[in-house]
Structure 1
Amino acid sequence: MKKLIFCCLVLLMGACKDDKKDPEPETDYATSFVGVYETTTVEGGITSNYKWDITTEAKNKLNIKYTKATKVTISGTTINLTQEYPLVEVKTTAQDNFEVNEKVNVTQNTGEALSVRLSGLGSRIVNGSGVSQINITLKSSEASSGAPNEEVYLEFKKK
């Protein structure tokens, strides 16, 4: 009789067990990227200051206000160009990675219209100084004017 009661209890416990497991919610990696990142490059009389102001409004999706301020000095004359690239479809692909792949309408201080496709895979690391930074090889192409494609490696440091 004890064995029969024990078997019934085991069956009853097995029947009451919840086989439905709630799916784990998708982790939101976007919030860990939020902040302002900057870098400067100097090459052959051209100085470019890059700034990324990163925010997020949706899970695993970044909005980046990308500003590039270029200063060119030629024969004692300085020319300044400021460009703003509103990136709104940047997707985080892992805890420390994201992907840029979108066509953007660039706002320039010259007033000229410019539309480019930007693409690249960004990785966040902590550098030797303990500062968070984003490394990316950013590719841009602008087919409408026939301008050559550009590829630049950048290391944005968090401010």
Structure 2
Amino acid sequence: MFEMLRSATLAAATLTTGLMAGLFYAYACSVMLGLGRTDDRTFVDAMQWINVKIINGWFLVPFLGAPILIVLTGVLILRGDGRSALPWIVAAFVLYGMTLAITFAVNVPLNNRLAAAGAPDDIADLAAVREAFETTWNRWNIARAGTSTAAFGCLVWALVLPGSTG
């Protein structure tokens, strides 16, 4: 039973981390490229709505669940066999922690500033608002796509290590 729980938490940690890596990757290689081709009003309006609508269970469960599941997996591995996976679990936690740090230190404050700019029809200089947001947000989104993808890779490796899943 213990091995099944450990396997399930490692699988869930891998899945939630993979979902987040995929989300950040999708923004980097499609969403932001597409929005980058739009006019300033469309860009600001779309990003303001995306930033409101992304705060939902479909996003929050994997976003916040991933680090919890990674820690739980590490604890369960410490209490059983399969310790060869532990360094990979720790690395995944550090990398996903970097993802969270980037999100809360850079992307969320930029999102908040974009929201504070007001409705697009009320913004006097849409180009300046967009310029203050877009390049920095994109750069750091690519960084968190990298850190979350690396965390996902560490968890995938932990899954395939002999004895890590019972």
Please give the range of the TM-score, normalised by the shorter of the 2 chains: under 0.3
The structure whose residues are more often strand, as a share, is: 1
| TM-score, scaled to structure 1 | 0.22
Structure with greater Cα Rg: 1
If asked which structure has higher relative contact order (CA below 8 Å, sep 6+), I would say 2
| TM-score, scaled to structure 2 | 0.21
The structure whose residues are more often helix, as a share, is: 2
